[in-house]
Amino acid sequence: EMRERKIEQLDFVYVIGDAYVDHPSFGHGIISRVLEANGYTVGILSQPDWKKEESIQIFGEPKLGFLVSSGNMDSMVNHYFVSKKKRPKDAYTPGGHVGKRPDYAVVVYGNLIRKTYKKTPIILGGIEASLRRMAHYDYWSNQLKRSILLDSGADLISYGMGERSMIEIARALKEGIPVEEITFVKGTVFKCKNPSFLSNSIILPSYEEMKKDKRKYANSFSLQYENTDPYSGKNLIEPYGKSLFVVQNSPSLPLSTKEMDIIYSYPYERKAHPSYEKEGGVPATEEIKF
């Protein structure tokens, strides 16, 4: 397909934990089409074998960066019942087969990329990265975990609805702005060593404080909840020791009706990739067929 379109090097390689479904009910479907409509080329790398480093190298190094998402569900919710017993079926995998994505998929994919591509920008998105963007309680391990940005080796998180933020990030990268200097995009999370340049910010309890005191974690969660409004929300700064900070910019502004209509009018195939047909298709698409 790249040869047919005369693409020698992709702008973005999009690593996803789901099967590839070109439909606007799938996050990767929307983001890839939004990027394409704005002049960027995107290659979808669906469910790579995380046990093999070469699986992440199929498209080579992208010009601008890797995008990473576990898929339409958090990978742990996808894999386990609340009882922590394994689910027998994965609706987002061809044939409903299990075992095609790792636990904590975003962290695994991010580190897999970073092993080979040491300096290529990595941008996380989707529900798993969004819900784990700051320090968070992980039910599955019964631990307070650090921001997924730190554990994955990534550079940025586009949290929530990413149509606006991803285009801003793409433009900044294309203009040659180093990824560590892309600190100005609403709806993103970044890391830095000194957040003194930020204004309109709230300093949250540090990760170390929250690990020692559950009330500190509750206070942090409350402050995050109170700053989810895109118009009044403030930037949030979460310290890790004295020289590392994870910063959540205020949320992206919502799309207008016109913008949303445009995005949903893109030429989606509105079905799973035809290569999955021999395995019985992707079960999750049954709910979106008319």
pLDDT tens digits in sequence order for the chain, 290 residues long? 888 888 999 999 999 999 999 999 999 999 999 999 999 999 999 999 999 999 999 999 999 999 999 999 999 999 999 999 999 999 999 999 999 999 999 999 999 999 999 999 999 999 999 999 999 999 999 999 999 999 999 999 999 999 999 999 999 999 999 999 999 999 999 999 999 999 999 999 999 999 999 999 999 999 999 999 999 999 999 999 999 999 999 999 999 999 999 999 999 999 999 999 999 999 999 988 76
Q: Do 28 and 85 form a contact (C-beta atoms < 8 A)?
A: no
The DSSP-derived string for 184-243 is --TTEEEEES--TT--SEEEPPPHHHHHH-HHHHHHHHHHHHTT--TTTPPEEEEEETTT
Domains in the chain with CATH codes: 12-188+255-288 (3.40.50.280)
Q: Scan for tokens 């290659």, then name that residue.
A: 43
Cα Dmax for the chain: 58
Angle, CA 215 vertex, CA 210 and CA 220 arms, to 5°: 60
Length of the chain: 290
Q: Do 201 and 195 form a contact (C-beta atoms < 8 A)?
A: yes
Q: Do 211 and 143 form a contact (C-beta atoms < 8 A)?
A: no
The SS3 of residue 1 is coil
